[in-house]
Structure 1
Amino acid sequence: MTGATSSSAQTQQGLTDRLARWARGLSGKAEEEEEDAPDARRRAGTASSREIGRRRRLYEEIGDFLFAHDLDLTPLNFGVAHDYLTGANIGVEKAVRAVLMERGRITNGWIEGVAAEHRPDEVTPEALATMLDKVEENLEQFTGLMDESRTSARNYGAALQEQARGLESGGDSEPILARLVGLTRSMVEKTRQVESQLRDNQRQTLALKSSLESARRAAEHDHLTGLPNRRAFETVLRDEIKVAQESGEQLSVAFCDIDHFKRINDSHGHDTGDRVLKFVAGLLAKASDDRCHVARHGGEEFVMLFRGKTAAEACEAVDAVREDLATRSLVNRTNGERMERVSFSAGVANVLAHEDPRAALKAADRALYLAKEHGRNRVYLASDLD
């Protein structure tokens, strides 16, 4: 246990040292280039210097953010801070913004949780090392078996040639034939051993492949609601954009967020909150088919993607689910008490009207934010807000 901890610490320290060296390089690079470059190169490099300055300011902002929340200087913390400050990952940005509004600060442990939810493709150095070790082990076993098989075949061939020369020279055939029989039996046995080892290796490889496929499926589904998660949704979004562009179909996206969800958790407990999440997920999933994809985007937020519907048509479809939920009278199973009315707000945007998927998601998110701000339990269309 101590050795594993020490190895993890060394790996982390190495990555931390690299970040520190990169930071020191940024802090002096712009000034050094200005001092050393001739006038012509200085003029040609003005844009580059501006970019260096921009990156340096971003690094300082990230450093200030980590320092303000007393966070460790790790690649994971650095990456989440970068995603939040630059808006590179809308899920991380919204999660950080929400926890800052609720608690005022974030912790190392919270970042690990949000990274697992919003950056599931994040691979730790230790996990990567373990996977590489397993791949190398299987490769070495396979290579060893092939080398052993080739060596045995070569030795067998050489021995056969030697015995064949003995027969050609007119020597006593009986002992030569006996040696040939012995060589053949030895080769057959060796071949059987190699085949057995190869079968074992194949079984291990198939088991590893099955485990990886199961892990991949699990990594793309939300364990609570059973819906696809954000990672799976982003894959579908990329694929659907290509299909829509090729076919000329409409493509619309909607963010749906349960209203006052924190109040539900505080008043009725997290178990009831989880049941509300599953109930809302079930209502949204009823609209899901091969042309409508529903996923849990994180927390109490869901995302819907409509192929073949304009943003206005998608808005009507989402609003129908909103009205259905708003008419439901839910009961707390723990104590039998009737709960306050549960509702959600939503924002809808035309994906293809924006330059890239991130811009479309931000437009839908902005519409959702305004729906919340203007009273909740409503659906806003992004184009109506421009």
Structure 2
Amino acid sequence: MIGAHSSSASPQHGLTDRLARWAKGLSGRTDEPEEVEITARARPGAASSREINRRRQLYADIGDFLFAHDLDLTPTNFSVALDYLTGANIGVEKAIRAVMMERGKITNGWIEALAAEQRADEVTPESLATMLDKVEENLGQFTGLMHESRKSAKDYGAALQEQAKDLASGTDGEPVLARLVGLTRSMVEKTRAVESQLRENQKQTQALRSSLESARRAAEQDHLTGLPNRRAFEGRLRDEVALALSTREPLSIAFCDIDHFKTINDTHGHDTGDRVLKFVAGLLAKVSDDRCHVARHGGEEFVMLFRGKTAAETCEAVDDVREDLAGRSLVNRTNGERMDRVSFSAGVANVLAYDDPRAALKAADRALYLAKEHGRNRVYLAAGPE
């Protein structure tokens, strides 16, 4: 089931007046604040009047959002509100939209949990600093061993040359040979010690390489489904856009969101919900190859990127997976009960139709939202940029 729709959002107003009243209350003034003509007094190189008005409106929108939900004025709340209202983070936008549809309001605690979840798959600065310190330590040890080895070889060569002179002169032959044997034995012992330290250093380097690889996987893989996560997908999107532009191939993106997933969790439990996520991830992953990349974008949402397929062809490919899932009869492994039909909705957009890939992501997300609104279990194609 495929359709095409578009949507838009309306701005909010009001923070400027609130801030003015708040500032007036702090200063004890009772007169109305003066209207400031910023355009006439703007310094050279300052933002234009239009840009200033746009910023003011954004501040007003953020303020209205925070006040409407009775949220504290914290950096985290402000950042989440900014991401939601500007669409800078689609994961945040979808999460807020979902909880507002369900509860009508968000809370400080919910935002803190959302922020923590977004940071969960990140490699922390502390862990990276520890690994880099270890790299530097190993490099320092390796450099020291090389210097020591070179110095030992140089000293041995000089001593050997000196003893060779005595041997050539024919004086004290036996003592010279004994000294040569001693020098050689000492050099062999030093070489063995260096080799042993190098082997130990190599083991530490291999362990460090394994740790770095694990950190990279943790930063780019979803631990539940085994699919790449949002971080990895964003990097892949940049690469695929560049490749599609160079090869002049079409590039399309699809957002897929499992329908009524909260009901699945509430009815059958989170363990079953996790198994449903992994099952859907497996169906989507079956179509992936070097020209189709699938990732878990967060929650019950997946994202697919198709190079070489038009948006219409991508709709058909995603719709085939949708039909496959909707036609299956899944069973709750815990109690053997048959589950209600599990399905997903999807939105598709042509990435190269937009100046910024993030705009294509938003377009696919809007199409997905409309697919949800119009009955779910369907794929909608975004109408394209205005």
What range describes the TM-score normalised by the shorter chain of this pair?
Answer: 0.7 to 0.9
Which residue of structure 2 lines up, in the alignment, with residue 14 of structure 1?
A: none
TM-score (norm 1): 0.75
Which residue of structure 1 lines up, in the alignment, with residue 357 of structure 2?
A: 357
Letter in 2 for 1:358: R
Distance in structure 1 (CA, Å) of the matches to 2:329 and 2:249: 38
What does residue range 67-82 of structure 1 map to in structure 2 within 5 Å? 69=71
Distance in structure 2 (CA, Å) of the matches to 1:320 and 1:310: 15
- CA separation of 1:135 and 1:51: change in aligned 2, threshold 3 A: farther
Which residue of structure 1 lines up, in the alignment, with residue 18 of structure 2?
A: none
- Distance apart, 1:360 and its partner CA: 0.9
Letter in 2 for 1:114: Q
Which residue of structure 1 lines up, in the alignment, with residue 25 of structure 2?
A: none
8 Å contact kept, 2:80–2:111: no
More helix by share: 1
Distance in structure 1 (CA, Å) of the matches to 2:86 and 2:162: 74
1:228-287 per-position Cα deviation (integer Å, ceiling 9, x unaligned): 322332233223222322222211111011111111111111112112222222332333
Instruction: Answer yes or no: is 1:115 the counterpart of 2:99.
Output: no
Distance in structure 2 (CA, Å) of the matches to 1:306 and 1:290: 9
8 Å contact kept, 2:368–2:380: yes
8 Å contact kept, 1:72–1:108: no
1:121-150 per-position Cα deviation (integer Å, ceiling 9, x unaligned): x44332132112211221221122122213
- CA separation of 1:385 and 1:138: change in aligned 2, threshold 3 A: closer
Distance in structure 1 (CA, Å) of the matches to 2:372 and 2:137: 54
- Distance apart, 1:167 and its partner CA: 5.0
Letter in 1 for 2:353: A
Which residue of structure 2 lines up, in the alignment, with residue 151 of structure 1?
A: 151
Coordinate RMSD, CA, aligned? 3.6
Which residue of structure 2 lines up, in the alignment, with residue 305 of structure 1?
A: 305
Distance in structure 2 (CA, Å) of the matches to 1:279 and 1:303: 15
Which residue of structure 1 lines up, in the alignment, with residue 315 of structure 2?
A: 315
Letter in 1 for 2:339: M
Distance in structure 2 (CA, Å) of the matches to 1:171 and 1:68: 99
- Distance apart, 1:202 and its partner CA: 1.5
Percent of residue pairs bearing the same amino acid type: 77
1:25-82 per-position Cα deviation (integer Å, ceiling 9, x unaligned): xxxxxxxxxxxxxxxx9642223999899889989969x96996559768xx887666
Distance in structure 2 (CA, Å) of the matches to 1:214 and 1:46: 47
Distance in structure 2 (CA, Å) of the matches to 1:56 and 1:190: 72
8 Å contact kept, 1:221–1:227: yes
Which residue of structure 1 lines up, in the alignment, with residue 132 of structure 2?
A: 132
8 Å contact kept, 1:95–1:114: no
Which residue of structure 2 lines up, in the alignment, with residue 335 of structure 1?
A: 335
Give the gaps of 5 or more residues in structure 1.
1-40
8 Å contact kept, 1:91–1:298: yes
Distance in structure 2 (CA, Å) of the matches to 1:162 and 1:78: 77
Which residue of structure 1 lines up, in the alignment, with residue 326 of structure 2?
A: 326
8 Å contact kept, 1:252–1:307: yes
Secondary structure of the 1:46 match is: coil
Instruction: Answer yes or no: is 1:104 the counterpart of 2:100.
Output: no
Distance in structure 2 (CA, Å) of the matches to 1:52 and 1:152: 70
Which residue of structure 1 lines up, in the alignment, with residue 289 of structure 2?
A: 289
Distance in structure 1 (CA, Å) of the matches to 2:59 and 2:161: 71
Secondary structure of the 2:47 match is: helix
Distance in structure 2 (CA, Å) of the matches to 1:94 and 1:159: 76
Distance in structure 1 (CA, Å) of the matches to 2:191 and 2:49: 66
Letter in 1 for 2:115: I
Instruction: Answer yes or no: is 1:191 the counterpart of 2:191.
Output: yes
Q: How many residues align?
A: 339
Give the gaps of 5 or more residues in structure 2.
1-40
Letter in 2 for 1:126: E
Higher RCO (C-alpha 8 Å, min separation 6):
2
Which residue of structure 1 lines up, in the alignment, with residue 91 of structure 2?
A: 91
- CA separation of 1:186 and 1:335: change in aligned 2, threshold 3 A: same
